[in-house]
Amino acid sequence: MGLDMKRRECCPRCGSPKVHWVGGNPLLWSIWECPICGYKGALVIEEGELAALLRKEYLRKTGKEVDS
């Protein structure tokens, strides 16, 4: 991976790349939030095969489309 490539974070619940950082206390973990499924937590995943698989599974379970 080259230095010029930008890493894209995704939600670990639904695979959406719309996850955003909402802050955190320096003594605690950073908090991420997903507007698609409502996830809030310290864990995010990188865009890739796992995120695509999560998006597919989320659509199957909920019937809700996740924008890529």
Structure confidence by residue, pLDDT tens digits, 11-50: 999 999 999 988 766 666 788 999 999 999 989 999 999 9
Quick: pLDDT tens for 4-17: 456 789 999 999 99
- Closest C-alpha to 8, from 50, 38, 39: 50
In angstroms, the CA 36 to CA 10 distance is: 11
**Is 1 a member of any domain?**
no
Query: How far from chain centre, in Å, is Cα 9?
Result: 5
Domain limits for position 24: 16-61
**Distance between CA 25 and CA 2 in Å, rounded?**
31
Q: Is residue 47 part of a domain?
A: yes
Number of domains forming the structure of the chain: 1
Classify residue 2: in a domain, yes or no.
no
- The confidence band for 68, taking pLDDT boundaries of 50, 70 and 90, is low
* Two structure tokens written together for 9: 């974070």
Is the pTM of the predicted complex or chain greater than 0.85? no
Residue 4 lies in a domain: no
Q: What are phi and psi of 4, to 5 degrees?
A: -85, -10
